[in-house]
Structure formats: structure tokens, C-alpha cells
Structure 1
Amino acid sequence: MQHERTTEHTTRAERETMGRLAQLISRFADIMPLQPAYTFADRVGDLAYHLLPHYRQNVLHNVATAFDLSLNSPDVERIARQIFRTSARNFLDLLRVPSLSDAEIIRSIWVDPAQWATVESLQQQGRGAVVVTAHLGAFDYVGQLLAARRLPFVALTARTVPHLVDAAVLQLRSSRGLRLERVSPVGLRRAIQALRRGEFVGMVADHDFSGRGELVPFFGKATILPLGPVRLARAVNAPILAAFARRLARGYQLIIEPPFYVEQTADAQRDLRRALLRIATMLEASIRQTPGQWVTFQRVWPEQRPQFMPMPFVLGETERFAHYY
């Protein structure tokens, strides 16, 4: 027991150290002029493309499968290299987040006033929404913009990188007050409570990290997408709002799709599947517009169904959680 407590204490200390290191690097990133910093990030992306063969193969496979191209196609390699560069630029942007003001974030992201009016209308009605996005463009900036505009927003996240790297990323994401919750029984309960209060809850929807999703067509090929967003929306009768932060030559553009509700019929499984298919269509359309910004490094179409992650609950219990909370 004493050993377990020591290990836990050491891990906590290491995470705190990584958080402080992230803050230090963030200060350095803020000093660099933006365009030279992006050029440097591009070179880091090129280096990562060569040094990380596992992720390179995953990205090549995703691009070739999505766009019906040969793995050896020059277009596949070109798009894959761009994806690595986009990811490096995203990380640079995340490093700069702590030093940015609300006004600077708002100015950097263009939003169609008519699309933003939809968000404001929901807020005025006292209704929140399940905000779904993809690992597309500067996806971290979806939550940062909503928080900067003082929208009550919480992002549900899952750890997909080693603990220490995860600690640094969480520190940067939450540095300006963005509320984060883990995908867990506690996080799910808080997300449900937030939606009932008329707040907005964000989730990525282009990859199923739990292994408990639904098999659906995506770019014309079957793969598993997460049921979490549609289960959560149906459980509390909240609308689903798809939002994507596309990178531009200068700044970003937030694209907000019209909201929709998950049907509430006697056939819950059919309701969930129809809503998930609708999300898959929106994800696909947005990815097709900027394929070089689809920064997912896991295989979207694995050769076999992913193994379940060791989670202490099943996402299918969302309705039971909603009943009590």
C-alpha cells in the first residue's frame, strides 16, 4: 500500500512538472513572430512525418481509404504531409493560447453572423446543445472561441496520449478557463447536468476511442463512430450542433451547421443510428473541403474492430444517468 501511494504521488508530481514546462514553452512560443513560428512548425511537422512511421502509415491509410486513392499515390503523400504540418501548427497555436485575450481569439476566428445567431438563439431560449466536431483544422479553437464569447461550455475529453503529454495538453487547453471533463461516470454526470442548465457540451465525433460505437458508412466504407454524442443528446433532448474550425491563410473560420434533434421514438437504437448517420454526413462533407487539415493519427478504418478500452462504465448507460441527474 505504501508503494502504491508513493507511485501515485510521483505521478502527480510529474504531471505538475509537465504543466509548468508547458507554461514555460508557451511563453517562448508567444515571443516568436507568428509567421516564422509557423514556418518552424512546418519543419517540425515534416520531421515528425519521417520519424513517426506508425502515425505516418495511419494517416496515409486514412487518406487513401477516404478518397479512393492508392497508398502510393503522390496525392496521398502530399495530403499526409500537410496533415502533419497542420498538426504542428495546431500545437503551436495551443502553446500560444494562454497569452491570448478574449478579444484576440474572437478577432482571429471569422464566424458567419447568421450561423452565430443560431447559437445565440439557443442560449436565449435557455437551451444548450451537444457540440460535435472533428479532428479537423484548429479543432481546439472551437472550445476556445465559445469560452471567449462567454458561452457556458464544457468539453468532454479522453486521454489518447501518454499521461505526461496529456497533462501538458490539459494545462494549455484549460489555461484560459475552458472547462474540461473526462469521459467517465463523473464527467458524464456533469455533462448531463450542464445540458439541463442550458449549457453547451463539446465532443469530437470522427473517431471511436472506446470501441463501443456503431458501425456506419463513412466515405462509403464501414467504420465505427462514437455513439456518445447522440446518446447524450437523446437522453436530455438537447439539440446537436456541428462546428468545425477551418484554418485559413490568416486566422480561422468557424463553420456552424444548423442544429437538429435526435428522434424520440419507441425504437431508441434506430433513433441513435439515424442521428449518427447524419453526423457522419456532416463530418465527411467538412473533411472533403480541407483534407489536409484532418489531423487524426489513429486508423479510422482499422482492419479489425478495436478492442474495448478499460472503462468503468458503458456509454449505453447514458439514459440511466440522465434519469437520475
Structure 2
Amino acid sequence: MGISPGTERARELPQRVARPGGGALQYWGWRAAQATIGRTPAPAAYRIASGLGHAAYWLWPRGRRAMRGNFARVLGTAEGGLVDRVARASLAAYFRYLVDFMRLGNGAARLPRVEGERAFAALDRLLERGRGAVIVCMHYGNWDAGAAFAASRGYPLTVVAEGFGDPRLDALVLGTRERLGMQVIRAERAGPSMVRVLKRNGLLALLIDRPVPGEGVEVEFFGETVEVPAGPARLALATGAALVPVAFRRLDANGERMEVVGDFSIVPCDEARPECVRALTQQVMRVHESFIRERPEQWYMFRAFWRREAAAGATGA
């Protein structure tokens, strides 16, 4: 949810793998991968994806340093063996997520079974208020399959998407989302459209673990200050919409079973003061911290997320 699969992550994958020739090469790479996955039995496709993820971890020094710093903080230890295992598992899980998305896109897969009826019942109660809900996700689990599942149940779900730099790739990826029942808003013209979605009592899905240097709000996350987008909290305060941190966890390696978890108890302040924006964002991040603690390998963060880790990486530490 929130941005196109691979857009943010592609900027973080090795340049020689992800973006060696810009959008055109990404487009042809995506087409080739999707065609190959469409002809490959699902178990084999997921095994290959896992292997590629493990290999990419060792072939990508910059990303490996970033992931080691991130997961050392998440795990509360700098013990190299454990940190490496979780970081490798995260990159392998991300490659499996790409297989999920491509198989859904070419019709080779059905939507996963999603456990968590209590979460949907809680969401229904929130929507009875008539003010919509801002669904706040992270690059965790499989947010796209979760969004598609919610849309299949009739929820009016809108996602905000960034482009890849090639209109053909945009059409492939964003078109897949639309075929899966999501409404897509382009990020460059998202502002008024997002407000309209909420005024119509719709669901607006946003990703919060994105870089916003100098434009976000500082909160504590795993015991260290981090800057994250203030937009979700500001939208909730401006429109009266509910603010709901949500995650869709994978329950198996082949993308057939998922679990939806969320916190539906966050109550916005009455005024859009800076301290209210910060307090609401802190609540959201605290919930996501609990999700990540349970399944850290399902968080896909390939850049240094905290300033201290980023500074250490810049100095080669």
C-alpha cells in the first residue's frame, strides 16, 4: 500500500541490478521476470526468489551495511550471525513478495487466504462514523496482496503511487493494482484527491517508512529518533478520519496465507497542532514497532533507517 511495489525499494537495491539503465531497463526486466514467473511452477519460483535474495545480500555491500545497522537496532544486538540471518531472510522475503505481485498481476495466482476477521469488524465500526480511515502501513509482509484482499471484500480502497520513470512500467505495475480493485492516485497530484477519498468515507493507504529529510516529524522508534512522514497524521487531523496502523503478515513461504493485524484504538486530537501530529505519529510508529518485533524478517528496509546508522554507513563504519 502507498507506493508502487519496487519504486522505493528499487532505489535501494544495487544500482547494477535495479536501475542500471533507468526506467527502460526496469521495464524490460520486469516484463522478462513476469513472463518467466508465469511459466514457472509456484514452488520453484519462490525457491529461486529466496536464493536470489540471499545471493543479493552478499553481493551488495552498501545494502548489507544498511540492513545490518537496521536489524542490529531492531534485534537489540550486534551479534553478527543473528543479524546477518535476519537481514538475509528479509531480502529473500522481499524477492518472494515480488513473485507474489507478479503472479497476481499475470493471473497465475489467486488472492491469499487472510486471517483476521476481528480487524475487518473493527474497521467496519470505524467506517460507521462516515469520515473514512487513513490506513498506515510499512514495507512489511505483503501490503499489496492485503490491499487487494480488502478491495475484493468491497472496501473503497485508494493507494498513492509514485512512478518509475518509464510510462510503460507505470502502466504495468499501476495497472495491476487497478485490476486488483484498488484506486490509484499518482503521488505528484495526490493532495486534494486524498482529502476527497476520506470525505467519501473511503480508505486511503499510505506507507510511512519512507525518506522525508527535513519534511517529516521526529519520533522514537526502537529507542532511537527517526524522521518519518507527517502526512498520515495531518490528514487524519484535517479530515476527522480514523488513523489505523495495519500490517499484512505472510504466514507461509508461498504467499497463500496471510494475517491482518492492526490497532483501531488511536484517537486523533481535536486540533492539528504540531505536538498533536507528533503524538499521533508516535502512536502509529509504536504499533508498527510491535509488528516488527514479532516478525522482523518481514520488514523490507534496505537503506539506513536511523540517522545514527546512516552516519555510520557514510563513514564506512
TM over 0.5, shorter chain: yes
Deviation of 1:215 (Å): 1.4
The higher-RCO structure (CA 8 Å, 6+ apart) is 2
> Matched residues in 1 for 2:246 and 2:212: separation?
20
Whether 1:257 and 2:263 are equivalent positions in the alignment is: yes
Query: In the alignment, what sits opposite 1:82?
Result: 89
Query: In the alignment, what sits opposite 2:238?
Result: 235
Query: In the alignment, what sits opposite 1:6?
Result: none
Identity %: 23
Whether 1:217 and 2:220 are equivalent positions in the alignment is: yes
> Matched residues in 2 for 1:122 and 1:16: separation?
43
| Residue identity opposite 1:76 in structure 2 | V
> Matched residues in 2 for 1:271 and 1:117: separation?
27
5 Å-filtered alignment, 1:106-121, equals 108-121=112-125
- 2:102 maps to which of 92, 95, 99: 95
The CA RMSD over aligned residues, in Å, is 2.8
Deviation of 1:16 (Å): 8.4
Change (3 A) 1:277 1:49: same
TM-superposition CA deviations, 1:278-312 (whole Å, max 9, x none): 01110100000001111111211134999xxxxxx
Deviation of 1:207 (Å): 3.2
Change (3 A) 1:173 1:198: same
Change (3 A) 1:73 1:162: farther
The answer to whether the 8 Å contact 1:136/1:293 transfers is yes
Change (3 A) 1:165 1:218: farther
Whether 1:190 and 2:196 are equivalent positions in the alignment is: no
TM-score normalised per structure 1:
0.79
Change (3 A) 1:210 1:191: farther
| Residue identity opposite 2:307 in structure 1 | P
Query: In the alignment, what sits opposite 1:145?
Result: 149
The answer to whether the 8 Å contact 2:217/2:227 transfers is yes
Deviation of 1:156 (Å): 1.7
Change (3 A) 1:18 1:66: closer
TM-superposition CA deviations, 1:104-161 (whole Å, max 9, x none): 31xx2323222211222334553310000111111222322222222111112345x6
TM-score normalised per structure 2:
0.80
SS of equivalent residue, structure 1 residue 191: helix
SS of equivalent residue, structure 1 residue 209: coil
> Matched residues in 1 for 2:126 and 2:76: separation?
39
5 Å-filtered alignment, 1:8-87, equals 22=30, 25-70=33-78, 73-87=80-94
How many residue pairs get aligned? The number is 286
Deviation of 1:42 (Å): 0.6
SS of equivalent residue, structure 2 residue 190: helix
Larger Rg: 1
| Residue identity opposite 1:283 in structure 2 | H
> Matched residues in 1 for 2:90 and 2:168: separation?
20
The answer to whether the 8 Å contact 2:143/2:248 transfers is yes
| Residue identity opposite 1:298 in structure 2 | R
Query: In the alignment, what sits opposite 2:158?
Result: 154
> Matched residues in 1 for 2:211 and 2:201: separation?
26
The answer to whether the 8 Å contact 1:142/1:243 transfers is no
| Residue identity opposite 1:46 in structure 2 | H
> Matched residues in 2 for 1:181 and 1:193: separation?
11
Structure 1 gaps, min length 5? 1-13, 307-325
Deviation of 1:30 (Å): 3.1
Change (3 A) 1:199 1:101: farther
> Matched residues in 2 for 1:154 and 1:170: separation?
12
Structure 2 gaps, min length 5? 1-21, 312-317
> Matched residues in 2 for 1:17 and 1:78: separation?
31
Deviation of 1:179 (Å): 2.0
Change (3 A) 1:200 1:280: same
> Matched residues in 2 for 1:46 and 1:20: separation?
23
Query: In the alignment, what sits opposite 1:202?
Result: 205
| Residue identity opposite 1:257 in structure 2 | D
The answer to whether the 8 Å contact 2:158/2:203 transfers is yes
SS of equivalent residue, structure 2 residue 201: coil
> Matched residues in 2 for 1:51 and 1:140: separation?
27
Change (3 A) 1:178 1:22: farther
